[in-house]
Amino acid sequence: MQEESGSIEVICGSMFSGKTEEMIRRLRRARIAKQHVQVFKPVIDTRYNNEKVTSHAGVDFEAIPVNDSIQLQQKIDSTTTVIGIDEAQFFDEGIVALIDSLAESGKRVIVTGLDMNFRGEPFGCIPILMSKAEKVDKLHAICMVCGGSATRTQRLVNGKPAHYDDPIVIVGASEMYEARCRAHHEVPRG
């Protein structure tokens, strides 16, 4: 009998590209297959519901909010076979080693996250996880300026593009972010 091997799946892209919704679709299929599923989210993500991951379209799935990778590891049930981690870019550096370890132990780990910050630069652990993953899906949104394919997240402050030197992490939704294509993504300096 062949032992089940673990894997890492990364679902990345800009805001509003459907990352969380795609993760939820995969998690629901795992449940239908009678697999034991647990989902985790960073405690700082309180946009829609503290104990659910929720897509911008309103699709949700129960989740456990955690402060960091250590707390996440402590809350994993030994019978869990599929682990979802939403907004992984907000976790500490230990998340990469933990996800690697979970996959090595035979778990299927499905991770979502922004691959680029509002500046258009690699964001947190996502680029590293993309290189370690067995499967990577980069989803695109729709540019709010031209209607084309959007790969970037535009942060807005009072309706204008945020400056390069503004803080990297500010949790929000459509009130302060838009999906943009490369041509319409703006990050003024100075």
Domain locations in the chain? 7-140
Q: CA dist 102 to 70, 77, 81, 112, 145, Å?
A: 13, 12, 9, 16, 41
Angstrom distance (rounded) from CA 132 to CA 113: 15
Mean pLDDT rounded to a whole number for the chain = 92
CA-based nearest residue to 153, from 190, 182, 125: 182
What is the model's pLDDT at position 38? 98
Q: Which helix or strand (DSSP H or E) is residue 98 part of?
A: helix 94-104
Catalytic entry in 3, 87, 104, 134: 87
pLDDT 10s digits, 108-125: 999 999 999 999 999 999
What is the model's pLDDT at position 45? 74
> Is the pLDDT reported for residue 56 higher than 90?
no
Give catalytic status of residue 134 as yes or no: no
pLDDT 10s digits, 139-182: 999 999 999 999 999 999 888 999 999 988 877 666 789 999 99
Radius of gyration of the chain, Cα coordinates, nearest whole angstrom: 17
> Is the pLDDT reported for residue 77 higher than 80?
yes
What is the model's pLDDT at position 1? 41
> Is the pLDDT reported for residue 47 higher than 70?
no
> Is the pLDDT reported for residue 2 higher than 60?
no
Q: Which helix or strand (DSSP H or E) is residue 25 part of?
A: helix 19-32
- Backbone phi and psi for residue 22, each to the nearest 5 degrees, phi listed first: -65, -40
Give the position of tokens 């699709």. 59
Q: Contact at 8 Å (CB) between 12 and 136?
A: yes
Query: Would you place residue 52 in the very low, low, confident or very high pLDDT band (cuts 50, 70, 90)?
Result: confident
CATH superfamily of 7-140: P-loop containing nucleotide triphosphate hydrolases (3.40.50.300)
Q: How many CB atoms lie within 10 A of CB 91?
A: 25
